Amino acid sequence: MLTFLAILALLAILMAFRVPIAFAMGIAGTLGLAAQLGPRPALAVLERTFFNTSASFILVAIPLFILMAELLTAGDVTRRAIIACQAWIGHVRGGLAMATVAASVILAALVGSSTASTAAMSASAYPEMRAHRYSDRLAAAVVSVGGTLAVVVPPSIVLVVYGVLTETSIGKLFIAGIIPGLLTAAGLAMVIKIIAHSTDQAPKGEPFVLKTAVKQSRHVIPMVLLMVAVIGAIYGGIASPSEAAALGVMGSLVIVLAQRTLSFVQLNKSISSAIRATVMIVAIVACSAIFSNYLAFTRITHAMLEFVATTEMRREVLMGIIILVLLVMGMFMDQLAILSLAMPLAFPTAMALDYDPVWFGIVVTKTVEIGLLTPPLGLNAYVAAAQTRVPLGTIFRGILPFLGMEIVVLILLLSFPEITLFLPDLMMSR
């Protein structure tokens, strides 16, 4: 037990000194294995674990989905999506903010990364809202919360990492994320509507012109059709997530080349960005597996399962404790760090409580999404503040009503698993 506590302390110290989470977990896990088994057996476990994890075929989906996102982002999709959504609903009070949420859904289905989505919306949607006399508080809050949709809306990188870490079907996770993602977007729009009608933070936009709306939509329709094809291929069982991701890369490349919005320099930059992001994620997954192996040898996971089997606490209470821990972790860490640290213990516990792994994955990602908005870290708020120059305090005050709505959606997902499992169940029954 003293050795285990010392390894946990080492992990905490490494993270406190801003060592990347992958290296922190890898170092702590390796030293823990060496202390538990001896140096030579530890190296053997390290070699096998790192190879087996990094050689997993499902990891192929990560660089492909990231590259698809990079290509479409470089192809000016973000600005065009905002303009198209604004043309359709920008005329109502608060309509431009709602259009930003709608564009965030499209961008979430293209980017798969919350911070990247927030950065893109801050650079494009925030200036547009300010130009239409929206308050700093509401405009910055909307781009912050809109970015979180990329955590749940497929093809979410967080869902891919969760699927790899827990050996859960990524295809089912993607399909399960559709309704919670749309439910969240509807909740955000509802909050904007209430704020717009009760305060002067969101003025009325320009009159609706059908011809303009149709014209502005023609560049976005191919991207929407591509995402329907990618998700539809997974839902229909036509393609695996990795094959669907390859389809998405090919489709996105055809679209940006046909629209002549991608230069050779941008193509090179997109590939480089995809490689960097992939290396980081694969390193996190592999080092998380090393730390998980250490936990297995210490029998901590076994002790947790025994506690769950023998405790008289209701499973809803235990799930509430898991959610609370994840929310607290979300105040200080990014989403991938939370998954890599928490899943080795939280996932076996949830399975011992007889919860569905797909449902648990969506609940976890929703909880992580909330963590991206909560102080003191609130990663999305920091990204928005850096891009928009709006003070953090102002952004966090603007986020508060949206945070309440996020909690309501989380409670709905916890109370009614059918919301999450409806589409995956249909997928299985076909």
CA 312 to chain centre: 34
C-alpha span between 112 and 127 (Å, rounded): 23
Give tens-digit pLDDT for 347-401: 988 898 889 999 999 999 999 888 878 877 677 888 788 878 888 888 889 999 9
Q: In sequence order, which residues have a C-beta less than 8 Å from that of residue 229 and are 6 or more positions away?
A: 247, 251
Give tens-digit pLDDT for 61-75: 778 877 887 787 777
Q: State the pLDDT at residue 309.
A: 65
Max CA distance (Å), the chain? 73
Task: Please give the structure tokens belonging to residue 251.
Answer: 């489709």
In the chain, domain spans: 1-55, 56-429
pLDDT tier for residue 313 given thresholds of 50, 70 and 90 = confident
- How much is the average pLDDT of 290-300? 78
C-alpha span between 171 and 231 (Å, rounded): 9
| Res. 113: pLDDT tops 70 | no
Higher pLDDT, 138 or 111: 138
Task: Please give the structure tokens belonging to residue 343.
Answer: 């899943």
* Residue 9, CA atoms < 13 Å, CB-side half-sphere: 6
pLDDT tier for residue 335 given thresholds of 50, 70 and 90 = confident
Give tens-digit pLDDT for 162-207: 888 888 888 889 889 989 999 999 999 999 989 988 888 777 767 7
Q: Is 19 left (phi over 0), alpha (psi -120 to 50) or beta?
A: beta
Weakest-pLDDT range from 89-98, 158-167, 304-313: 304-313
Radius of gyration of the chain (CA): 22
Q: How far is CA 387 from CA 143, 258, 318, 354, 402, in A?
A: 10, 31, 39, 44, 20
C-alpha span between 402 and 166 (Å, rounded): 30
C-alpha span between 77 and 121 (Å, rounded): 11
Number of Cβ within 10 Å of residue 287's Cβ equals 25
Task: Please give the structure tokens belonging to residue 222.
Answer: 């191919």
Give tens-digit pLDDT for 27-59: 888 898 888 888 888 888 888 887 777 777 777
- Taking all residues of the chain, what is their mean pLDDT, rounded to a whole number? 82
Which one, of 316, 332, 315, lies nearest residue 411 by Cα? Answer: 316
Q: Decide if 381 contacts 143 (C-beta within 8 A).
A: no
